[in-house]
């Protein structure tokens, strides 16, 4: 697969409401101790983590602008956990180790909040938090989670019965819900651009519009070749996510880019508060769930679906309008003024790829599904290792880069997604008869 186009047709609401800073590009020869390829949240978090540990001789290089990929065009949810669900994490590691790894993601949520406050990043943080809403009318599932995770993961969730949930989300589509303390939602692109500014203000460099064409080891140093210049570095970190799978294939062949879609409504005025009396971000318990949240200008951001296919803005509008009306029939027919898609990167084991290759190249990839916290965690883990503390890095060696199967793997993943969606539809039909909402 060639370089995936991060410039999907149609602009995002984030791009329309974010600053437009200028960044230098790679021209001539640059030398740094650490060069990071990919200016999404993983790359910028790694750079800032290094700077906070006293290492300022660092640059972040991107083919486009910081945040042009998944990190700057996602739903804007910030909450704990990995793409691998909690139950599977406990099964693989046991409760003690799972509690530790899950706790790291909770610390990452707090770190993001702290950095935004400390550096005055205006990224529209909303502390109302994130709610998981039951789609199937089976209250026992979320009730069991609320009871189980404090013991097994040290992770408390607030159970909302049906009445309490409808005081926050006015939809008869749902049963009960879970609210995650400490979670929040925000403008991810503003946050990333804020991180980039902090990095530059503290001696690092952010270099944009500079696609890296090759990474080679020469005379004990790395050489990164771009169109109009080169970068030499002692250490290189690869953080390109699902938007490039060619620079270092031993790692990147493990990735499968998966699409998700988002639309943003016209300003809704009082109608927004009628459907969302509390300004929470919401997702549901299906495999391919809806996710949505209110925006400061009284719009509703609505996302969902997972697929292996890119879609046009018109197609995304049709899909999102249908899904939105299913949850909030009173909003049927509202105009969707923005529509876009993006590529999330996944590994087969559904855990992040964080590590170092035998040739010395570092990497932090595959954060699809729970990107904000785990990506920030990756930056911290890599910054620690690059400055001499590889303890947490070793914990992720259990999940190495495993070939994702290429085009055959993509077809298999799409088939699996259809299968899971069918199971959800059958479950919805069956449980709807047993537990009508």
User: Does position 11 have pLDDT exceeding 90, yes or no?
Assistant: no
The domain total for the chain is 2
- Mean pLDDT, rounded, for 194-208: 98
Q: What is the DSSP string of 95-118?
A: HHHHHHHHHHHHHHHHHHHHHHHH
CA–CA dist 200, 66 (Å, integer) = 13
Residue 42 sits in the same domain as residue 114 = yes
- Mean pLDDT, rounded, for 75-79: 96
- Mean pLDDT, rounded, for 373-389: 97
Q: What is the pLDDT of residue 2?
A: 34
Q: What is the pLDDT of residue 256?
A: 80
User: Does position 248 have pLDDT exceeding 50, yes or no?
Assistant: yes
Q: Convert the pLDDT of each residue in 224-234 to its tens digit.
A: 999 999 999 99
User: Does position 43 have pLDDT exceeding 60, yes or no?
Assistant: yes
- Mean pLDDT, rounded, for 266-293: 94
Which among 306, 292, 387, 376 is positioned nearest to 342, based on CA atoms? 306
Percent of the chain's residues with pLDDT above 70: 89
CA–CA dist 233, 217 (Å, integer) = 10
Residue 25 sits in the same domain as residue 107 = yes
Per-residue confidence band for 112, with pLDDT thresholds at 50, 70 and 90: very high
Q: What is the pLDDT of residue 424?
A: 65
Which among 74, 414, 66 is positioned nearest to 262, based on CA atoms? 74
Residue 277 lies in a domain: yes
Residue 94 lies in a domain: yes
Residue 264 lies in a domain: yes
Greater pLDDT, 166 or 369:
166
User: Does position 8 have pLDDT exceeding 80, yes or no?
Assistant: no
Greater pLDDT, 411 or 221:
221
Per-residue confidence band for 407, with pLDDT thresholds at 50, 70 and 90: low
Coil, strand or helix: which one is 348?
coil
Q: Convert the pLDDT of each residue in 118-145 to its tens digit.
A: 999 999 999 999 999 999 888 899 999 9
Residue 375 lies in a domain: yes
CATH number of the domain within which 313 lies:
3.30.9.10
User: Does position 223 have pLDDT exceeding 60, yes or no?
Assistant: yes
The tokens describing 95, both together, are: 């409760």
Residue 287 sits in the same domain as residue 159 = yes
Residue 121 sits in the same domain as residue 135 = no
- Mean pLDDT, rounded, for 268-272: 97
Residue 136 sits in the same domain as residue 114 = no
Q: Given phi > 0 = left and psi -120 to 50 = alpha, else beta, which region is 282?
A: beta
Residue 116 sits in the same domain as residue 53 = yes
Q: Convert the pLDDT of each residue in 281-331 to its tens digit.
A: 999 998 778 999 999 999 999 998 877 677 888 989 999 999 999 999 999
Residue 116 sits in the same domain as residue 260 = no
Q: Which of 346, 363, 379 is the last residue of a domain?
A: 346
Per-residue confidence band for 250, with pLDDT thresholds at 50, 70 and 90: confident
Percent of the chain's residues with pLDDT above 90: 74
User: Does position 70 have pLDDT exceeding 60, yes or no?
Assistant: yes
Q: What is the pLDDT of residue 406?
A: 63
Residue 120 sits in the same domain as residue 191 = yes
Q: What is the pLDDT of residue 288?
A: 77
CATH number of the domain within which 81 lies:
3.50.50.60
User: Does position 372 have pLDDT exceeding 60, yes or no?
Assistant: yes
Residue 425 lies in a domain: no
Residue 57 lies in a domain: yes
CA–CA dist 420, 245 (Å, integer) = 27
Residue 245: burial class (beta carbons within 10 Å; 0-12, 13-18, 19+): buried
User: Does position 1 have pLDDT exceeding 50, yes or no?
Assistant: no
Mean pLDDT of the chain: 90
CA–CA dist 193, 328 (Å, integer) = 33
- 173: containing domain: 130-181+256-346
Q: What is the pLDDT of residue 257?
A: 81
Q: Which of 313, 330, 346 is the last residue of a domain?
A: 346
Q: Convert the pLDDT of each residue in 254-265 to its tens digit.
A: 888 888 899 999
- Mean pLDDT, rounded, for 3-18: 72
Q: What is the pLDDT of residue 48?
A: 98
Q: Which helix (H) or strand (E) holds 344?
A: strand 336-346
Residue 39 sits in the same domain as residue 59 = yes
Q: What is the pLDDT of residue 94?
A: 95
Q: Which sign, positive or negative, has the C-alpha torsion 16, 22, 23, 25?
A: positive
User: Does position 148 have pLDDT exceeding 60, yes or no?
Assistant: yes
CA–CA dist 186, 75 (Å, integer) = 9
User: Does position 428 have pLDDT exceeding 90, yes or no?
Assistant: no
Angle (CA) 393 395 398, round 5°: 115
Residue 240 sits in the same domain as residue 260 = no
Residue 135 sits in the same domain as residue 39 = no
Q: Given phi > 0 = left and psi -120 to 50 = alpha, else beta, which region is 121?
A: beta
Q: What is the pLDDT of residue 5?
A: 41
User: Does position 29 have pLDDT exceeding 50, yes or no?
Assistant: yes
User: Does position 41 have pLDDT exceeding 60, yes or no?
Assistant: yes
Residue 220 sits in the same domain as residue 293 = no
């Amino acid at each position: 697969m060639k370089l995936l186009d991060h410039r999907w047709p149609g602009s995002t609401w984030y791009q329309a409401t974010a600053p437009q800073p200028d960044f230098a590009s790679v021209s001539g020869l640059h030398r740094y101790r650490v060069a990071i390829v990919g200016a999404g949240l993983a790359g910028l978090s790694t750079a800032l983590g290094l700077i906070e540990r006293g290492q300022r001789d660092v640059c972040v290089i991107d083919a486009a602008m910081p945040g042009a990929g998944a990190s700057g065009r996602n739903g804007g949810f910030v909450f704990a956990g990995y793409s691998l669900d909690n139950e599977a994490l406990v099964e693989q590691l046991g409760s003690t180790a799972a509690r530790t790894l899950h706790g790291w993601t909770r610390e990452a949520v707090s770190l993001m909040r702290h950095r935004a406050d400390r550096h005055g990043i205006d990224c529209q943080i909303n502390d109302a938090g994130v709610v998981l809403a039951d789609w199937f009318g089976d209250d026992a599932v979320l009730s069991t989670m609320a009871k189980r995770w404090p013991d097994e993961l040290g992770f408390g969730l607030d159970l909302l019965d049906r009445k309490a949930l409808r005081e926050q989300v006015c939809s008869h589509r749902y049963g009960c819900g879970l609210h995650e303390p400490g979670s929040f939602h925000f403008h991810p692109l503003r946050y990333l651009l804020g991180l980039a500014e902090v990095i530059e203000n503290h001696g690092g460099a952010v270099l944009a519009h500079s696609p890296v064409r090759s990474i080679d080891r020469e005379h004990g140093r790395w050489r990164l070749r771009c169109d109009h210049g080169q970068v030499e570095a002692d250490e290189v970190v690869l953080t390109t996510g699902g938007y490039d799978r060619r620079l270092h294939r031993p790692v990147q062949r493990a990735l499968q880019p998966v699409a998700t879609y988002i639309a943003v409504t016209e300003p809704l005025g009082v109608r927004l508060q009628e459907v969302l009396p509390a300004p929470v971000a919401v997702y549901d318990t299906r495999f391919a769930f809806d996710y949505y949240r209110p925006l400061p200008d009284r719009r509703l951001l609505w996302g969902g679906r997972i697929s292996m296919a890119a879609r046009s803005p018109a197609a995304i509008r049709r899909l999102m309008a249908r899904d939105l009306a299913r949850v909030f029939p009173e909003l049927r027919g509202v105009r969707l003024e923005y529509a876009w898609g993006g590529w999330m990167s996944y590994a087969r084991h559904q855990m992040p790829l964080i590590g170092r290759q035998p040739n010395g190249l570092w990497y932090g990839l595959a954060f699809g599904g729970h990107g904000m916290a785990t990506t920030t965690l990756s930056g911290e883990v890599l910054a620690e290792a690059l400055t001499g503390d590889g303890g947490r890095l070793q914990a992720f060696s259990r999940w190495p880069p495993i070939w994702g199967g290429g085009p055959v793997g993509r077809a298999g993943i799409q088939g699996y997604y259809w299968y899971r969606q069918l199971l959800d539809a059958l479950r919805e039909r069956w449980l709807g008869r047993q537990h009508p909402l």
